[in-house]
Structure 1
């Protein structure tokens, strides 16, 4: 008798995750007009504004400092009075707007990757973002391409803290080896790699396409990109 052929395994296709950062990957750095407008809202030039903006930004992203404390700190470093509630609202809105200049080629890539969902490729977002920006992002049409959206301010910690990557794995119900993480900052990539997450340094979207083509999620669906 001929040797029986083993049956082909059936069942759902295992999910592997491609995880995107937001700032510097999906959005561009603030263009000059937007930078000038936000700086002018606190009576400063961009050259004065950005050094005063960054010292407390990670704490704001992590949700350990709220918008009022963040903007009072920025104003204090500039020697300006802190904002009243109405001006604070304008500053928060201006801060969101300055980071919403999106990279169309990255959005196109996200749409292509999202179309592979039935072949076991899923998208997630892992962003250092304050709560106001997180809620704004969630309302955008393109954000629906991500099956999960994980924001630092909702967790009380931010990249490159290893705990945020552990939380991500738990949220996705995935092992580190089932993730590919894309970010533009070396310290964030190094922290992910230390936990066994394959990571890609983002420089531009055409290069990212080449880099992604050699990753496990896409080699499984070779020819789909």
Structure 2
């Protein structure tokens, strides 16, 4: 597989393009590529361009050779509403959600979330997760970028989005198995609790917002496992697996 990099605002084929500094550094210092190496670049709009490395170093540049509209997107419009978990778990969830085809990740603050983020710290962490999503798209072959939304309290997410998307909230005690759910006909959201699970008042609020309780078998899955398992099962039932 050719090295792939996300570069917004790519010009049309036939032009030369100076690579962003971070990509130039990675090509030169990590991959140690040489002029003449073929690359793939994508801009997030669905376009994928073949390119030839012309120059390395801080001013690394490529010639853009050809363009194709290549879609590797699932037919399912899945949003993952992930209650904040400790930082390494959130990185893992974001990375794997991108690989599985999730279009949007909504980090939400829950009552039992171990991780607490506000203000500038929250903004920096979301920026970090967005870069994790970019790297996962580069690796997995996706030509669009999963959006990482700003952190919201769960109540705010329910008021803003629960009526826009068909929503399932994981509840191992009261949920209906995924295999008994009908295939979503539009955007769908999966709400995943934190390490300590959803509080009763959160489950009640979700039910009031028309979120359907969902179960994934008789076992209790960890927060970093549950959402990814649900997305993979949805892909097998109704998507492109």
TM-score tier after normalising by the smaller chain length: 0.3 to 0.5
Compare relative contact order (CA 8 Å, sep 6+) and give the higher one, 1 or 2: 1
More strand per residue: 2
